């Protein structure tokens, strides 16, 4: 059901963990399946220097969160906001239709984290 890339990011996510000194935090959840995602950002000169996540969810949710982090590193906030759920899904070798919402969850959490940063 899952591609090798999905399983790789699920079994050994590079960006998993709480960031104690985060400049911004964004949380999103999906009531339908119970997935919850929290994104942490460290920002310098309007660029994402560090990004990490914590998620309660299935392999697709964990993998999509990890890939989102990989795609955002070093990007400006505007560039990061332009990353789409489709970009995440394609990077993973296409998620099953039933799991497409997992890539959308990351996009929502990222947007909330950037909104949190801009408030401060």
Residue numbers annotated as active site: 33, 102
Distance separating alpha carbons of residues 15 and 3, to the nearest angstrom:
19
DSSP code at position 25: E
């Amino acid at each position: 059901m899952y591609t090798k890339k999905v399983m790789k990011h699920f079994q050994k996510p590079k960006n998993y963990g709480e960031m104690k000194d985060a400049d911004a935090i964004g949380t999103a959840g999906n009531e339908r399946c119970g997935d919850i995602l929290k994104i942490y950002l460290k920002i310098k000169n309007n660029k994402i220097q560090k990004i990490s996540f914590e998620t309660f969810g299935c392999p697709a949710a964990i993998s999509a969160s990890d890939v989102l982090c990989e795609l955002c590193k070093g990007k400006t906030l505007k560039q990061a906001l332009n990353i789409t759920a489709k970009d995440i899904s394609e990077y993973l070798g296409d998620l099953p239709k039933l799991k497409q919402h997992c890539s959308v969850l990351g996009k929502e959490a990222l947007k909330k984290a950037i909104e949190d940063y801009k408030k401060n």
